[in-house]
Amino acid sequence: MTNAPHYDAAKERITALVSGADPRTPVAATPGWSVKDVVAHLAGGLRDFADRRFDGVESGEWGERQVRDRRDNSLADAFAEWDANLEPTRPLFDTPMGPVLMAEVIAHEHDLRAALGVPGARDGVEVRAALVRPLQQLDQRMRENDVPALRITLEHGDRVLGHGEPAGTLRTTSFELMRAIGGRRSADQIKALDWDGDPDVWIAALALFGRHRPEPFEE
């Protein structure tokens, strides 16, 4: 099933959320970025997806470049570019790139919600859709690095990451898992979740972007 309707719904929620907000509001989940910068990144990221331009993803320079190149643009400019870049990107929603786009937009929706003090939309299908590709990546990484298998128990069922019989269990929500593996939680916050087994066995493997947030982040 295409991810396009879920992406469109997230885009509508972000538009409503940001309308009337100060575009200069800092977004603590993405240090150094403002509300306007996050929207500019979503707009520029779509263009990069369409162009298959992914240099700097691992280092973080991918997103920083998009924000830097649009630093002088307004929030209205960012939304106009987002609209313009969405249509040529639509075919990607029916490819393996679709779940990646979902993970990106939902993560940043909640970054903006935290910045503006408007939590919500944490238990919908969009959050589960945003976990599809990240969990695939973590599963592959754990198998390649011989990390013991981990059972993750979520509100809608279990998922085992890694090869073989699970050596431990993590019980949490889809939302909290998304934020934990996406760099929005510190290692200590993740260790404080409901674990069977020593979380240190898996803590490094659960960092989707290679690192956890250095300081706790509450939202």
Q: Is the pTM of this model over 0.85?
A: yes
**Rg of the chain over CA atoms, in angstroms?**
17
Do residues 28 and 183 touch, judged by C-beta distance below 8 A?
A: no
Q: What is the pLDDT of residues 153-190, one digit of tens each?
A: 999 899 999 999 999 999 999 999 999 999 999 999 99
SS3 73: coil
pLDDT tier for residue 56 given thresholds of 50, 70 and 90: low
Residue 56's Cβ-count burial label (10 Å; 0-12, 13-18, 19+) is: middle
CA-nearest of 170, 172, 180 to 219 is: 180
pLDDT, residue 50, reads 87
Distances (CA, A) of 153 to 41, 168, 196: 32, 11, 11
Q: What is the pLDDT of residues 3-53, one digit of tens each?
A: 899 999 999 999 999 998 999 999 999 999 999 999 999 999 999 888 888
- Strand segments (E) across the chain: 150-154, 157-161, 168-171, 194-196
For the cut 70, the answer to whether the pLDDT of residue 122 exceeds it is yes
